[in-house]
Amino acid sequence: MNVSELKSEFIKRYGEGPVAGFFAPGRVNLIGEHTDYNGGFVFPCALSFGNYCLIRKTGRPTVMFASLNMDFEAEVSLDNLDKPVGKEWVNYPIGVFAQFLKKGIRFTEGADMLFYGDVPPGAGLSSSAAIEVVTGVAINEMYGVGLPRVEIVKMAQKAEHEFAGVMCGIMDQFASGMGAKDHAVYLNCDTLDYELVPLKLDGVKIVIANTNSPHKLDSGKYNERVRECHAAVDALKPYKNIVQLADIQVDEFEALKDHIKDETVMRRARHVVTEIDRTRRAVDYLKEGNVEAFGKLMLASHHSLRDDYEVTGPELDAMFEAAVKEDGVIGTRMTGGGFGGCTVSLVKNEAVDEFISRVGAEYKAVTGLTPQFYVAETGDGGKRLF
Ligand code: GLA
């Protein structure tokens, strides 16, 4: 759906009058998985697809939430923008309004809002971060709040914690809010210092493969990993002064890991510590133009997510195995939270078509599921369109 079609949809639903349009992208993470809530590095890029929010202030004391993707709609009074509505999608935008209220921002008039997303939902490409960020950017501008973008990013993350119950790190919202076309975001999730690194991928494309596995990121498993990481920190604290897993280097970890008595917790921590190190090295390689070395670290990342962190599952592993043996594949791994969703691969231009047909066929033969492929186009972080 293009921008003028979206405008007509808005007018059809809410009537003639002025309307503003905003957009925030989904993301694909190239490397640095499950490191963000441990204060580590991540390296995602913003995509060209994401979530749109069309909005008009109305003077009425309610906010209307509707979506072209979902049937459920809600009209919420300005006094109730701090409470979830059942288990509905509207909790993402309401959760963002709630963060503005928490900051003491008062809304004296409501709005009509229409959302539309073209990120495949549940694919691990951050459709939820996109809707949170686009809402934050739209409110910030329409109501003249004027918060810096990074505040909006943090509020979007809080909305996810408080209204979706996922104790996520900041990667997705940050990529959606701060990403830039043809760049990846090299983010230190502890300090929020970041660098936009040009994606120098001469002759290589980023291919996203959606497993279409019905099992998507579930908050229970995700939050369990978060707790396991905290348990690892507690076990290591008597031996080294750390507050998070990013505070320990790989060699120190190797020397101290036997103090973590729970073997599962030790493996979770080993993934995080080694993944932070891989991310740092991978970004150095990319800056040197050594895409091959970057790709090898992607493979190591997948192995670690599969064996130590145990967030891959049969579908992501089947996609990985099908991809890894193809000619022209420089690197491949699961991306996002895991438990289904997508892999991301670096594939030589001339091999992309063959990759899609062969990996697709093999994946289907192994799992019985039909995958989808997207040759990723990067895009800019959240912005006003009109
Ligand atoms: C989800 C979370 C992110 C991050 C990834 C795993 O996408 O929202 O914060 O933890 O999983 O890297």
d(CA 150, CA 152): 5
Buried/exposed code over 226-251 (b: 16+ C-beta within 10 A; e: otherwise): bebbebbbebbeeeeebebbbbbeee
Which residue is it, tokens 């091959």? 292
Q: Where are the domains of the chain?
A: 3-198+380-384, 204-375
In 3D, which of 141, 142, 144, 113 has the Cα closest to residue 51?
A: 113
Q: What is the CATH number of domain 3-198+380-384?
A: 3.30.230.10
Instruction: Reply yes or no on domain 204-375 having CATH 3.30.70.890.
Output: yes
Q: Is the shortest distance between the CB of 37 and ligand 1 below 6 Å?
A: yes
pLDDT averaged per 10 residues, the chain (length 386): 96 98 98 98 98 98 98 97 94 98 97 96 90 98 98 98 94 98 98 97 96 74 96 98 98 98 98 99 97 98 98 97 97 95 97 98 98 97 98
What is the pTM assigned to this prediction?
A: 0.97
Q: Is the shortest distance between the CB of 339 and ligand 1 below 6 Å?
A: no
By the 8 A CB rule, do 152 and 106 touch? no
Closest ligand 1 atom number to CA of residue 129:
8
Q: Is the shortest distance between the CB of 26 and ligand 1 below 6 Å?
A: no
Residue nearest to atom 5 of ligand 1 (CA): 337
By the 8 A CB rule, do 119 and 127 touch? yes
Q: In angstroms, what is the span from residue 65 Cα to ligand 1's centroid?
A: 26
Which residues have a catalytic role annotated?
A: 172
pLDDT for 200 = 87
pLDDT digits (tens, 9 = 90+) for 20-38: 999 999 999 999 999 999 9
